[in-house]
Amino acid sequence: MLTYTIRRLLIIIPMLILASFLVFLGLELMPGDAVSFMADPETLANMDPAKLDAVREQLGLNAPFLVRYLRWLSGVLKGDFGYSLTSGVPIKQIVFQTLPATIELSLAALLFSTVLGTILGIVSALRRGRMTDNVLTVAGLLGMSVPQFFIGLVSLFVFAINLGWLPIGGRLRPGYESFIDRFPHLVLPAVVLGLALTAGVMRYARSSMLDVANKDFIKTARSKGLSEWRVNFIHGFRVAMTPVAILLGLRLPTLIGGSVVIEQVFQWPGIGNEFLSAIRGQNYPLVMMIAFFMVLATMVSSFLIDLVTALLDPRVRLS
Amino acid sequence: MNSMQRRLNKKMDILLERENSGPLKKKNLNRALRRALQNKLALVGLGIFLSIIILCFFAPLFTKYDPLKINIRASLQSPSAAHIFGTDTIGRDIFSRILYGGRLSILIGFGSAIGASFLGVVLGAWAGYRGGWFDFLMLRTSELFLFFPQIILCLLLVTMVGQSVGNLLGIFIFTGWCGIFRMTRARMLSLREEEYVQALKVLGVPEPIICYKHVLPNALGPVFVNITLSTAIFILQEAALSFMGLGVPLEIATWGNILNVANNLNILKVNWWIWLPVGTMISLFVLSINFIGDGLRDSTDPSQQG
Amino acid sequence: MQQEIVLRISNLHTNFYTNMRCNKVLKGVSLEVERGKTLCIVGESGCGKSVTAASVMRLLPDLARIESGEIVLYDEGREIHIEALDKYGKSMSDLRGSKIAMIFQDPMSALNPVYSIGFQIIEMIKRHTKISASIAKEKAVSLLREMGISSPETRIKDFPHQFSGGMRQRAMIAMAMSCEPKLLIADEPTTALDVTVQAQIFSLMEKLKKEHGTAVMMITHDMGVVAEMADDVVVMYMGYIVERGSVQQVLKNSTHPYTVGLMRSIPMIGKGKKQKLQPIRGCTADPYDTSPGCPFVTRCDFSIQLCHECIPEESTVSGNHKVRCHNPIQKGAVDART
Ligand SMILES: Nc1ncnc2c1ncn2[C@@H]1O[C@H](COP(=O)(O)OP(=O)(O)O)[C@@H](O)[C@H]1O
Ligand SMILES: [Mg+2]
């Protein structure tokens, strides 16, 4: 397991470096003067233009490209992400304010879709060819086909506006900030964000369960006299879960990307909303840094999912 | 388990009786066709798909309104005989906007799917066939792309190159080739070990000809299914980007752009006819593509026996 | 020594109902397996060998069932009618593994890839005996040692993919033997292995059969295996047993044209390079074919008019040697032809 973890890390780290390099490249290519986001805006505002060159020199902006990159990277590693162009707030502060909301939303959606998708997939497989299975198959295709933001709009219209069961948007009301109070706000966005993934997990779990049911080792398990329950769950389910875990890893980027759209629909104060307003305000440094954080989040979480997969299946960790 | 057992037994009794009551009539329909017909979902999908295509591409036959004609006096009318889906904030007829907008959305979807598949197949075939440094480089690149949430990448690129239909098409192709690339590559990896490939090599046939003319066609089956499925994905993506106001320029009608106004809570609350029909239209169209794609996959997959 | 029959199948009919058709796969299979003896079932692929085994284990797929016939297991004076048990019931699953165990063709796919070898053996022991986990583990280790796996204490923690093909099949056999079954069904146990490993597995099975008195029902399509391993042989063709008897009777004194054909179509060690191999002409008939005659008639060199009209009944050649043929080949006739 340890060697596997190290091996995965060895794949992830170069990717991460490459991604950071691309982000830096993006920052360099974006229109605008790099000084404006690298230096503290207050000192910058009170500075006479002649001194600007000195600041540039001091920030290393006249150095060769590679040196600038390395300097930027070491700054990022120390937590210096630069400053927002529009508000002058350190980007670090923006990220740390909004990231928890996005993590909360994505985790809730991931949890919801994994659990529900797996259960529905198993039910569908066990009732193959019957009414339940057919209904679930169509529902799964529907879940993949309806645009997420449209489901969001419809559910807002129905559950929040017309029925009034759940709040219309946002994450919390001032003064009511415990998880229990926040929970009603979380329900709709998390469910809507998770629906497409639920459909995917369900389809995968179904076909994987059916696939495994025809495997020889299931026949062996039966021939050992094990109970149907043990055959299906101890032998079948565990093996069938490997492809599902792999699918989750592959779909994570879509989930994290989807949170941008969902945050907009539900006015969820996460990093995705910040990303959109940064794009609309042409606040390039913030745009690039947030994109970097999203890639970072995807890489870290798919690394974690890889570890889960390896725990599930010794062939993965010992190959 | 028990009721299932009984149900199965009954089915088996019926079949046994039919078998014993004499030879069966010969079935004329060939097997693949029969199986396709059995797949009712795919048929329903095909029906919906064709209807929407006809509605959109022969739009002038179905609506007399110009989708771009602004008529402030007739703004925000609810559905009526004159405007069956009502009008939007500046009085444009929604039904005609949906039909004309569909043209562009569908073209963007198909165009990107075909472009991305083409790119993915060409690169994937060569990478899988030749291996070596090219394969290594392409594989790592595709991994990097897969780690980037696609919509984030699209948004980044849109901010860099600006909003236009052509740019969007290019961005979709540029960000969407990885899936097909990896699929083709994996198929080619196993196909290149086949003996006929060795034979062609010995005969001195140039490598690109072996790769693209002799081996690639055998890898294409699943790719075609994938084109349908990625069309669905690109249509959804265009809709999402335009909904956020960052896809096709807002003055051009596409399905996503029509939905953009639903960002306004008041319109969401009151003027349901602006967003509900077009959202349903997108959903139906993508659903029909997924029905067809699913049916195609079943009929090309030998492991699916009924 | 008095022969002790462990399993008797009489007139077994099994049908498959896949693809909305009724496929009569077994059309009257009768055989007996004796304690401490090996019965080989031979026949080309698709003739119903595995289905016979699955019928005995009651492990047929959902869309298949036993239509008629008897499968009787004799266990310490009791007669257990397997065909009458509920296939999902407890009394049937109590038999599986403890009285009848089975090993499969491909040990890689027959072992669960995500559990260790030890887990899979211990699981089986614990299912059928009431012993503690640590004793079960000791037993698993000693079984593996008995099967010739070196340092079983450590290998028991390994996963199937860490074993070689031969070792996997040994582990499968260890598992199958762990509850001392009366009957071991082996469905082409060495087809997926290379020849040297094949020989080792066979001698291992031979040893187990001698030491534990297990009855073995071995499925194969390889006449060489039959000659080497079998005490008794049944030859199957298209769901019928066309000839059965002791290995001497069936191989040396074949009477059914199909058996004769099978014997001719394989090279025999010791006959030299010049031996003439004759494949059986034609190919297997359509299983849905409902013409009334003998299923082998289109490929048979000895057919007579009657063969086209009805299916022959089983007749006795001598003693236990039985054949299902209208025009069985007399002894000597074969030699005259070659
Ligand atoms: N799972 C199955 N589904 C449908 N038909 C089957 C299945 N398994 C076996 N059969 C039918 O039973 C016949 C005998 O199969 P089998 O016993 O597996 O042959 P073999 O003698 O090679 O082991 C096959 O020709 C096929 O028609
Ligand atoms: Mg078989």
CB contact under 8 A, C18 and B305: yes
Q: Is the pLDDT of residue A145 over 70?
A: yes
- The more confidently predicted of residues B22 and C190 is C190
Provide the pLDDT confidence category of residue C2 given band limits of 50, 70 and 90.
low
Strand C38-42 versus strand C232-237 pairing type: parallel
**In chain C, what's the furthest Cα-to-Cα distance?**
67
Q: Where are the alpha helices (DSSP H) in C270-309?
A: none
Across the range A164-175, mean pLDDT stands at 74
Who among C17, C24, C67 is closest to B11 (CB)? C17
Distance C49 CA to ligand 1 centre (A): 8
Across the range C122-139, mean pLDDT stands at 92
Across the range C71-77, mean pLDDT stands at 90
pLDDT value of residue B305: 40
> What is the three-state SS of C176-208?
HHCCCCCEEEEECCCCCCCHHHHHHHHHHHHHH
Domains of chain B by start residue, with CATH: 2-64+83-304 (1.10.3720.10)
Q: Is the pLDDT of residue C166 over 90?
A: no
CA angle B188-B119-A294, nearest 5°? 100
Domain A93-270, CATH class in plain words: mainly alpha
Distance B42 CA to ligand 2 centre (A): 36
Q: What percent of chain C has pLDDT over 90?
A: 41
Question: How far apart are the CA of C6 and the nearest CA of chain B, in angstroms?
Answer: 30
CB contact under 8 A, B12 and C65: yes
Q: Is C205 in the pocket of ligand 1 (CB under 6 A)?
A: no
- The more confidently predicted of residues C18 and C214 is C214
Q: Is C69 in the pocket of ligand 1 (CB under 6 A)?
A: no
Which of C27, C40, C47 is the pocket-test mutation for ligand 1 (most atoms within 8 Å of CB)? C47
Distance C34 CA to ligand 2 centre (A): 22
The residue whose CA has the least distance to atom 17 of ligand 1 is C48
A130 at interface of C, judged by CB pairs closer than 8 A: no
* CA dihedral sign of residues B198, B203, B207, B210: negative
- The more confidently predicted of residues B10 and C121 is C121
* Nearest to C49, CA basis, from C221, C173, C191: C221
Tell me the pLDDT tens digit for each residue of A218-238.
999 999 999 988 998 899 998
pLDDT value of residue A151: 92
The residue whose CA has the least distance to atom 8 of ligand 1 is C51
* Nearest to B7, CA basis, from A127, A113, A314: A127
Give the span between the Cα atoms of B192 and B190, in whole angstroms. Answer: 6
Q: Where are the alpha helices (DSSP H) in C88-216?
A: 90-95, 107-110, 117-128, 133-146, 152-155, 165-177, 195-212
* Nearest to C92, CA basis, from C132, C135, C146, C56: C56
C123 contacts on A by Cβ (under 8 Å):
224, 226
Q: Is the pLDDT of residue C335 over 60?
A: no
Give the span between the Cα atoms of B170 and B155, in whole angstroms. Answer: 13
Give the closest ligand to the alpha carbon of residue C45: 1
Q: Where are the alpha helices (DSSP H) in chain B?
A: 2-20, 31-38, 40-57, 59-62, 94-130, 132-147, 150-161, 165-176, 178-191, 195-202, 207-209, 216-219, 221-243, 255-259, 265-270, 272-300
What 3-state DSSP class applies to C85? coil
- H/E stretch holding C84 reads none
- The DSSP bridge partners found for residue C75 are C78
Neighbours of C184 (CB within 10 A): 24
Query: Which whole-number Å values give the CA distances from C334 to A28, A205, B173, in the listed order?
Result: 91, 58, 72
User: Do A300 and B158 meet the contact criterion of CB atoms below 8 Å apart?
Assistant: no
Provide the pLDDT confidence category of residue A182 given band limits of 50, 70 and 90.
confident
Q: Is C16 in the pocket of ligand 1 (CB under 6 A)?
A: yes
Q: What percent of chain C has pLDDT over 70?
A: 93
Q: Is the pLDDT of residue C316 over 90?
A: no
User: Do B48 and B56 meet the contact criterion of CB atoms below 8 Å apart?
Assistant: no
* Nearest to C260, CA basis, from C190, C191, C335, C313: C335
DSSP state of A163: S
Give the span between the Cα atoms of C305 and C317, in whole angstroms. Answer: 21
pLDDT value of residue C262: 83
- The more confidently predicted of residues A141 and C268 is A141
pLDDT value of residue B89: 73
CB contact under 8 A, A215 and C109: yes
Q: Calculate helix-pair angle for A238-265, A284-312, nearest 10 degrees.
A: 160
Least confident of A107-116, A171-180, A252-261: A171-180
Provide the pLDDT confidence category of residue C53 given band limits of 50, 70 and 90.
very high
Who among A150, A291, A302 is closest to B283 (CB)? A150
User: Which residues in chain A (189-228) have CB-CB distances under 8 A to chain C?
Assistant: 215-217, 219-228
Count contacts between B and C (CB, < 8 Å): 29
Q: Is C46 in the pocket of ligand 1 (CB under 6 A)?
A: yes
Which one of B44, B145, B159, B283 makes the best mutation probe of the A interface by having the most chain A beta carbons within 10 Å? B159
Tell me the pLDDT tens digit for each residue of C248-292.
888 888 888 888 888 887 766 666 666 667 777 777 767 777 678
A147 contacts on B by Cβ (under 8 Å):
236, 239-240, 243, 279, 282-283, 286
- The DSSP bridge partners found for residue C79 are C74
Across the range A293-308, mean pLDDT stands at 86
Question: Closest ligand 1 atom to the C-alpha of C53?
Answer: 17
CB contact under 8 A, C88 and B5: yes
Who among C15, C62, C290 is closest to B23 (CB)? C290
Which one of B15, B17, B21 makes the best mutation probe of the C interface by having the most chain C beta carbons within 10 Å? B15
Q: Alpha-carbon Rg of chain C, whole angstroms?
A: 21
- The more confidently predicted of residues A252 and B25 is A252
Give the span between the Cα atoms of C335 and A76, in whole angstroms. Answer: 91
Distance C23 CA to ligand 1 centre (A): 10
**Burial (CB count within 10 angstroms: exposed 0-12, middle 13-18, buried 19+), residue B305:** exposed
What 3-state DSSP class applies to C216? strand
Secondary structure tally for chain C: helices H, strands E: 12, 12
User: Do C326 and C294 meet the contact criterion of CB atoms below 8 Å apart?
Assistant: yes
* Nearest to C276, CA basis, from C265, C262, C291: C265
- H/E stretch holding A269 reads none
- Residues with Cβ < 8 Å from B153, sequence gap 6 or more? A291, B145, B175
pLDDT value of residue B69: 73
Tell me the pLDDT tens digit for each residue of A34-53.
666 777 776 766 777 777 77
- pLDDT by position in tens, chain B (length 306): 577 778 888 888 888 888 777 655 555 555 556 565 667 888 899 999 999 999 888 878 777 777 777 777 777 777 777 777 777 777 778 888 888 888 899 999 999 999 999 999 999 999 988 888 999 999 888 888 888 888 888 988 888 888 889 999 999 999 989 988 988 998 888 888 888 888 888 888 888 888 888 888 888 877 888 888 889 999 999 999 998 888 888 888 888 888 888 777 777 787 888 888 889 999 999 999 999 888 887 766 544 443
Give the span between the Cα atoms of B241 and A128, in whole angstroms. Answer: 38
A55-61: long-range contacts, CB 8 A cutoff, minimum separation 24: A59/A34, A59/A35, A61/A34, A61/A35
Strand C240-246 versus strand C232-237 pairing type: antiparallel
Give the span between the Cα atoms of C38 and C210, in whole angstroms. Answer: 10
Chain position carrying tokens 């534990």: C212
- The DSSP bridge partners found for residue C80 are C73
Q: Is the pLDDT of residue C217 over 90?
A: yes
Strand order in the sheet with C78-81: C23-34, C5-16, C64-75, C78-81
Q: Is the pTM value of this prediction over 0.95? A: no
Listed by start position, the domains of chain A span 1-86+281-319, 93-270
**DSSP states of B25-75 as a string?**
PPP-S-HHHHHHHH-HHHHHHHHHHHHHHHHHHTHHHH--S-TT---GGGT
Provide the pLDDT confidence category of residue C140 given band limits of 50, 70 and 90.
very high
DSSP state of B260: G
Chains in contact with C, where contact requires at least 3 CB pairs less than 8 Å apart? A, B
pLDDT value of residue A34: 65
Q: Please enumerate residues of C whose Cβ is less than 8 A from a Cβ of B.
A: 15, 17-22, 24, 62-63, 65, 67, 88, 290
CB contact under 8 A, C15 and B12: yes
Q: Is C140 in the pocket of ligand 1 (CB under 6 A)?
A: no
Give the closest ligand to the alpha carbon of residue C286: 1
Provide the residues around ligand 2 (an ion) whose CB is within 5 A.
C 50
Distance C262 CA to ligand 2 centre (A): 17
Q: Is C136 in the pocket of ligand 1 (CB under 6 A)?
A: no
- The more confidently predicted of residues C337 and B226 is B226
Distance C187 CA to ligand 2 centre (A): 7
> Chain-wide mean pLDDT for chain A?
85
pLDDT value of residue A206: 92
The residue whose CA has the least distance to atom 1 of ligand 1 is C61
Phi-psi region of A60 (alpha: psi -120 to 50; beta: other; left: phi over 0): left
B294 contacts on A by Cβ (under 8 Å):
141
Give the span between the Cα atoms of C275 and B64, in whole angstroms. Answer: 88
Strand order in the sheet with C240-246: C100-103, C183-187, C215-219, C38-42, C232-237, C240-246, C321-323, C315-318
DSSP state of C15: E
Q: Is C191 in the pocket of ligand 1 (CB under 6 A)?
A: no
Distance C46 CA to ligand 2 centre (A): 7
DSSP state of B87: B
Give the span between the Cα atoms of A7 and B238, in whole angstroms. Answer: 37
